[in-house]
């Protein structure tokens, strides 16, 4: 069993309806039916984040209570819905969290960490006009120069910025 694997909610077997229990299968802790032994393979959840640029500044949101790392800053982000195009989800999340309509650009990268059930797809984006307003899970929003960033919420935020800066050096 991997001790860094997050605890999953109790699941019922899709084959017979009995409660599953966590057991080691193929080197991972997986839900296994206590009655019929069927293994449930839990797929990672896909989330998107958007690095929105305007005049060399990056838009970040201050995370509110009820979120991971409240009071720290991060990119507008959220989960992709089943059947939704990833780029459409990125634009939707940007609009929900900032009030801005953005043009989704290139994929900056995919980010995952051992034990983390979420894979993050990060896109560059631009906005031609409008002023952002904090929405959804944010308490503040602001434009920051890459050299003057506030306290970021997640270690991956630094990796995202480093990847973007390396690809966009003059």
Domain presence at residue 2: no
Q: Is the pLDDT of residue 114 over 90?
A: no
> Greater confidence, 3 or 8?
8
85 band by pLDDT with thresholds 50, 70 and 90 = very high
Q: What's the pLDDT score for residue 170?
A: 62
- Residue 115, domain extent: 45-167
What's the confidence (pLDDT) of residue 140? 95
CA distance 28 to 17: 22
User: Residue 105: how many CA atoms within 13 Å on its side-chain side?
Assistant: 11
Domain membership flag for residue 55: yes
88 and 114 housed in the same domain? yes
Pair 57, 117 in one domain: yes
Burial class (CB in 10 A: 0-12, 13-18, 19+), 121: buried
CA-to-CA distance for 24 and 5, rounded, in angstroms?
A: 12
Number of domains in the chain: 2
**72 with 21, same domain?**
no
Tens of pLDDT, residue by residue over 39-78, are 988 778 999 999 999 888 999 999 998 888 999 999 999 9
Identify whether residues 89 and 113 lie together within a single domain: yes
| pLDDT (0 to 100) of residue 103 | 94
């Amino acid at each position: 069993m991997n001790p860094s694997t997050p605890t999953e909610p109790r699941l019922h077997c899709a084959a017979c309806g009995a409660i599953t229990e966590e057991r080691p299968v193929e080197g991972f802790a997986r839900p296994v039916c206590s009655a019929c032994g069927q293994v449930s393979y839990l797929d990672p959840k896909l989330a998107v984040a958007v690095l929105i640029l305007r005049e060399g500044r990056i838009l970040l949101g201050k995370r509110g209570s009820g979120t991971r790392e409240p009071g720290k800053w991060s990119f507008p982000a959220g989960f992709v819905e089943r059947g939704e195009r990833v780029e459409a989800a990125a634009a939707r999340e940007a609009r929900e969290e900032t009030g801005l309509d953005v043009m989704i650009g290139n994929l900056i990268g995919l980010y995952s960490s051992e034990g983390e059930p979420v894979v993050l797809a990060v896109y560059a984006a631009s906005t031609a006009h409008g002023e952002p307003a904090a929405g959804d899970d944010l308490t503040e929003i602001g434009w920051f120069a890459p050299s003057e960033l506030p306290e970021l919420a997640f270690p991956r935020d630094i990796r995202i910025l480093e990847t973007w800066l390396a690809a966009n050096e003059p």
